[in-house]
Structure 1
């Protein structure tokens, strides 16, 4: 189903939601499955409690899993498997997150940082490539070499479609981004998979980024 109807990351989110739901039912009810008609407001509220306390998810992560679960419930409603929506009186409150931007000085400090691990250096390079192009992780992950073309100004540009919105993007490549592309031009993963850059999974990227200090 991935790469046809849904992106791989979307499939992974739903697989993770399923795993959390199964673990919750085992934790709360000591069962591995439940009839759709038995899902009610209390089930959803206790599932949210489980995500927040046992799984230690933050507010937005917990509610994203609940929203994914809710999409499955809506499919059940549309299919006539249930006639009452258990989410009818359930409120989802996503907290707005203020995401600070990195300054030019911070980007330069990160770029000049020397790492003892080649893997950390690779993660740093990919992260900064995203910063200098404005492309999200999923967009960088799927970039192919053929999507780097010469623009109207004679310089190198990224011509691609955004994964989330399927809208075309035309992005001029700044010197640092060009340097990253050149650095990994002959990387085995890029040659075998016809990818522009050697991208790790999103989870691995996040886990490597978390402990990195650039001071």
Structure 2
């Protein structure tokens, strides 16, 4: 808005709907954001004008009849047990490839997001009555990690995940911040996991993303008979209703009918 109007203070009456279109183009072509991200900001701008109209600050909203379409929904992708095993058994001789493989498999068996894995510390791994280890902490996801609205995940450390943790124990001890895993960017890991999927002979490797490990975990748990309430806790959702309705991607992965109008 500062670029468009060359100033700090802008009167609402000065803003025309074309500004939202320009905002979308700017976010996509200059900032490199995806369509959905850019549209969200345009909708926020529209909401500001609706709020101003409701409070009588402007006679009407010029944005009232404007609609902003999100991008084409991507196909929901996750791996089955056979495909996970293909990646687990794949022998790699590059440390970078091995790291990406370990992180991906770790998330397949824990449901942790990329941000949660990168921020994992030894102190986040606790013992439950001498029976098993588990990971529990607030999710590293925007406002959900604020003091007012924390969403905590709880996930047991299965043997597959435990084996990976043991490989990186020394790094966790040497890291000044206490992080368990070496640093890597989201872009790097998403590029590399597609190469690993291709080497492991996964069908359509170009569709494999790091986030698919989280969906894979949900699918595995459900197929093993884990109740939806527990799946929701592992994924860090506030309730199983969130798992079923607010996150349709997970519901599709779990092959659960959506609950309409909730």
TM over 0.5: yes
Matched residues in 2 for 1:75 and 1:185: separation? 49
Aligned to 1:162: 139
CA RMSD of aligned residues (A): 3.6
TM-score (norm 1): 0.67
* Closer, same or farther: CA 200–90 of 1 in aligned 2, 3 Å: farther
- The DSSP-based 3-state class of the residue aligned with 2:176 is helix
1:128-169 deviation line (CA, Å, top 9, x unaligned): 111110111122122111011111361111121223332222
Aligned to 2:177: 193
Aligned to 2:195: 211
- The DSSP-based 3-state class of the residue aligned with 1:211 is helix
Greater RCO (CA < 8 Å, at least 6 residues apart): 2
Among 62, 66, 69, which residue is 1:93 paired with? 69
Aligned to 1:117: 94
Aligned to 2:128: 151
- The DSSP-based 3-state class of the residue aligned with 1:194 is coil
* Closer, same or farther: CA 93–201 of 1 in aligned 2, 3 Å: same
Aligned to 2:117: 140
Matched residues in 1 for 2:6 and 2:90: separation? 50
Matched residues in 1 for 2:16 and 2:174: separation? 48
TM-score (norm 2): 0.56
Runs of 5+ in structure 1 lacking a partner?
A: 1-20, 26-30
Runs of 5+ in structure 2 lacking a partner?
A: 145-149, 202-262
